[in-house]
Structure 1
Amino acid sequence: MSTPAPAAPRSPTPLSPTPRTTVTRGRSRAVEDRAAMHALLQDALVAHLGVDVGDHPLVLPVAFAVDLDGPDRDGTLYVHGSVAARWLTRSEGATVCVTVTEVDGLVTARSAFHHSMNYRSVVVVGPARIVTDPAEKARALYLTVDHMVPGRAATLRPSTRKEVAATAVLAVPLHEASMKVRAEGPVDDEADVEAGTWGGHVPVVRRLGEAVSDPLTDAPVPADVLRRVAAGRASLGCGS
């Protein structure tokens, strides 16, 4: 009997795959390529999670991690918090919204109406689940550490059972996502341009400084932290 051919890998879903993630305003700035979203999620450090906690909506800044090979369709976005956090327990089974934004410039136009910002922004909408599988939970927590400083998790002691029990991890599928990018100068009315008022933009960059050692340690700055600083400085074109 012949062996059936393996199924072809599923192609990544284009961005804005559903009505609730379809860009309607500023559609010319919408991005369809998931690779661009993946690059932003790798670059950004803070996400904002929105959830209905019962008597009011709540939006909180959270550290996050992404596993493109995670168990959810098109990959998994993870956030974590205390098992006692109401926002996290209320998210279980609910539809949540996670946004990630990086500001790349201040756009100074020739009228107040046309002032803007250059940005990269992702919106993810989907059903949240509390991660219960121990292996997935451990991987999500390690990925969160490594998102901040790549390679850091491997240098740390294992988490204690008490620490793991006190921490909850929330997973959101990356399937329903949209992205918009603005990367240009002001879009002014012709009459305002002719008036001669200055227009332009001011680039905004995130800068990593030199690592500062904790006074309680005599150990040198480790290689993983030095690499993180160097990578951040290289992305800005800074010298050593």
Structure 2
Amino acid sequence: MLAGSYLTEIVAGPGRARYAFSAGIPDVTMNFAVGLGTGGIGWLEETARARGRAPAFLAEGEAALSWLPGARAYAARWMVAAAAPVARDDLALAGLGLRLTDGPAPDESFLAVFGACHDGGPIDAHVARHYVPVLAAAQPVAGVATRHAVVFDGQDPVACATLHVAGPLAGLYNVGTRHTRQRGGIGLKLTRRLVAEAARLGARHVFLQCAAGTHLERLYGRAGFRTAFSPLLVCREAAG
């Protein structure tokens, strides 16, 4: 689903191993291997090093930490919700507007929100340097319909999110609320609205991923998502 934007290349490795590579984003969350066994660590390190990335892979248990010397592990959640209509439009009831646009690249209002979801410090600077240009240059992917959402309070864009729909499955990405408007329930309202939008587009389930034990996991739980898988992202902090 992310092949036209965040992900540049999927590299085949030994057995079932695959490496997802993002040319525009250096983070380990966008550059990692899946399906890796102990015999694939050398391949992973070589593949990551050749692309200037830290070695990282998804694993099912902490035993995999020993495979990669000097590694740390971060718990993630893969969550799924049934795509279904909502009985009421909470955004409209809160006096907020919603604009939906189709196409791989979001508009300027979306990008303005996405680059201002923190306090204007280093995280926003990192997003502006890496994520915003990649999203702005996104290209279509065969078989994937992309719908971007921006929530407005009057003329001001205050929240954003993206749906990628491929047949019966939709992926929810880029959910964010402008830093100055957080803790007001806008993100929850938008998430619920896009679960309904996914149903309208023909999806039966909506998938997302987030860090474990965070406010985002709790928010998505309130929106009807349930954990389907809890992988560990095993990685070293620096490439080389």
Q: TM-score, normalised by structure 1?
A: 0.22
| Greater per-residue helix proportion | 2
- How high is the TM-score relative to the length of structure 2? 0.22
Structure number with higher relative contact order (C-alpha < 8 Å, ≥ 6 residues apart): 2
